Amino acid sequence: MQVFESDPAPSNAFLESLNDPAMLANPPTSFSAQLSQAVRVWSDFNAPFYHPKTIFELLSHTHNDENNRFLTFSRGREVFDELDMINDLVDERIRFFMEEADSPQGFQAIVDTFDGFSGLSAAVLETLAEEYPKKARIVFGLALPDTGGLSNTSTYAWSGYVAAGLDTLSLPFRLKTDSRLDMHDLASLLNPRAETTAAALSLSLPVPLPADRSAPLEQVFSISSRGRYEHAWDLTLGTPYDAMDRDALASLSVFRGVAAALRTQELGANELPHTQTQVRQILAQFARDSGPAFAQSVVAELPFPVHASFPQLFAPTVTAGGLVHDSVADGKEHDAVTQCAVHVRAHTGPALRPLFERAIQSLDISPRDGWLLTAFGSGTRFGLERSDFAAAREDLETLCEAYGGEPE
């Protein structure tokens, strides 16, 4: 008998703190500095404990195995069949949670688009559509960091931008207040036509609320002369601003924690804090002025909590509560941000058409071995079987037509 054994993965300071009663009683505000040097995989900065049925191990592959890499869309589909995931994953594990839920709204999937998990996820989602045809399905496709305008695009930092965006966008269908929006309603809003199945996501982290009450709030929520909201990044289209397209088919804006952050502003003589009504009126006006005809907005009081393992993506001028000073005194220590206001906007319309055109142009055939390749999004070239290649190209051409004419 041969035994192959590897050393256990070393724990970083954050993971060790989860098992230290003294650290749990008085945890540090942030582990960002340590984690920025130590993160290798997502579990290095993940705090929750998971139900045993939520973990499905792919026994056919191991992490970073150079001899059996899990890279292709086609291989992901094969693994779905080889491991009989219809029975084990869908019929046993997912059905267990569906039966435990009183009234499940649908499925929210966060999937890699650049390796074998893309094909595996596609197979799972197709099965869910057959098993639960009346449940909403919202899919967030993730690529490796390659976005202009962001100050830090390490994988760890990129996970912070994505987490803040997805957590805020999904907040409306997790609320128990009057601002609640059902997952099916969100899917219907962003999918106004049967063939317009994609949307882009822009993020403002944090919303640059002034620390000084005398600064007019309307200036923060204003559109430039070029039709852009300059305080946001479009994580999908890769622009360091959010282009407000009046010709867009639909959009959803979610504002969280704006009023809560403003309550910590520095007040001068005879200055009163912003009221919740004033804040809601300003945000509603901004959403109306910047959005398309089918635009909806949700205002949530809960600010975005910056967990100790969350990357500190913030400038030195940002306070612990998420407000922004004009400048910071030399030598003054920068406190870690613990919460802040966030704004996201999901939009669908003609602005997405160039995205699909670039994806079509990225499809090619390797002259060396005849592999069908794509380098779109992540910059990593990976293979497709010819049937998947043809189907992908056809789907992208259909999307181009749906979002504004024939593909070039």
What is the number of other CB atoms lying within 10 angstroms of the CB of residue 183?
A: 20
Between CA 336 and CA 333 the distance in angstroms is: 10
CA distances 31 to 280, 327, 341, 344, Å, are 34, 25, 21, 26
- Domain count of the chain? 1
Residues 366-381: what's their mean pLDDT?
50
Between CA 15 and CA 267 the distance in angstroms is: 40
**pLDDT one-digit tens code per residue, 11-21:** 888 888 888 88
> Taking the alpha carbons of 367, 361, 112, 33 in that order, is the dihedral positive or negative?
positive
102-111, 292-301, 373-382 — which is least confidently predicted? 373-382
pTM above 0.95, yes or no: no
Main-chain phi, psi angles of 107, to 5 degrees: -125, 130
Total residues belonging to the chain = 408
**pLDDT one-digit tens code per residue, 81-115:** 888 888 888 888 999 999 888 888 899 999 988 88
Helix ranges (DSSP H) in 338-379: 353-362
Note whether residue 99 is domain-resident: no
Give 152's pLDDT tier (boundaries 50, 70, 90). Answer: low
**pLDDT one-digit tens code per residue, 198-247:** 889 999 999 999 888 877 888 888 888 888 888 888 888 888 888 887 77
Note whether residue 379 is domain-resident: yes
Residues 6+ apart with CB under 8 A from 8: none
Which residue in 262, 233, 257 sits closest to 160, CA to CA? 233
Note whether residue 368 is domain-resident: yes
Note whether residue 15 is domain-resident: no
Answer with the residue of higher pLDDT: 360 or 321.
321
Let me know the angle formed at the C-alpha of 142 by 120 and 370, rounded to the nearest 5 degrees. Answer: 60
Note whether residue 75 is domain-resident: no
- Assess whether pLDDT exceeds 70 at residue 185: yes
Residues 27-49: what's their mean pLDDT?
86
> Can you state the percent helix, strand and coil of the chain, rounding each to 5?
35, 15, 50
Between CA 170 and CA 114 the distance in angstroms is: 23
Note whether residue 262 is domain-resident: no
Pairing of strands 200-204, 342-348: antiparallel
Which residue in 310, 356, 359, 377 sits closest to 337, CA to CA? 310
Note whether residue 23 is domain-resident: no
Main-chain phi, psi angles of 353, to 5 degrees: -60, -45
Mean pLDDT of the chain: 82
Residues 114-126: what's their mean pLDDT?
89
pLDDT of residue 370: 46
Residue 373 belongs to domain spanning: 357-402
Note whether residue 393 is domain-resident: yes
